[in-house]
Structure 1
Amino acid sequence: PQDLTSHVFVINGVNHDWLFPKCTAIVHHGGAGTTAASLRAGAPTLICAVFADQPFWGKRVVSLGVGTWMPYAKLNHDTLLAGLRHLEDRNLKKRAAALGIAMRQEEGLANAVKAIAERLATAPIPR
């Protein structure tokens, strides 16, 4: 768009795992993958939920103490500014950073494979 200031850079797509760790805060729609990427980056998160599971992830971010959320329909200059100011909270930043570290250290795939293998080893075989 022509009316954006020079410090706004518009692109069609980007790798979240590359971009998000470079961000002080992350504003996004609240999809499961984008939420996971923002939490993994360790940055405070503002979710502007549009539909489906996005309000769930917004509420989850709040319950973890690592961000806030709002319905996209309520998004305007004032609500965006208030949401971004909320993300400046020192304790919220600390919790987001700690969660990001924990997520990056977790061996998620290996743990899932192990849990499935253990379950299959003890599951009764239907006949």
Structure 2
Amino acid sequence: MTALPPRPAPGVYAIVNRVLSPNDERLAITFNGSDQPATATVRTDSPAQRWVIADYDTRTQSVSPQSSQNLQAAWGSGFVTVLPAGNYVWTIRNTDTGYTIQDGGVTVFWGVANAVDGAEVTIGDGTGNEKQRWFFEKI
């Protein structure tokens, strides 16, 4: 088995939650428009589930919807939102159970409260829960 790299290489990815829905469906982060919460929805080949990962520096990366690369994933009120690009960066790191996505200061995690279709992608304290783990599927 090939080990995952310490962080995803720059490129286009579907970002899929580690936990399946109650219907055994994979849930991918979905872009819902500027200034709207990102949600975890059933994984399809939808352009709304394609994210561009770009290196910002040696430690952090930006996350932008492929269809609107002038926008970036940003920190909303307890959830991930998408705003005009403003050097919003994230620390994406490999763990034994999938990647974590944290703020640049490595204090909070992206996750879902419940692994159900349409769940908001939250930003909060680390729980160690697999709902705060992600897979990056190269597109």
Same fold (TM over 0.5): no
Q: TM-score range by the shorter chain?
A: under 0.3
Q: TM-score of the superposition, structure 2-length normalised?
A: 0.26
The structure where strand makes up a greater share of residues is 2
The structure number with the bigger radius of gyration is 1
Q: Give the alignment's TM-score, normalised by structure 1.
A: 0.27
Greater relative CO (CA pairs within 8 A, separation 6+): 2
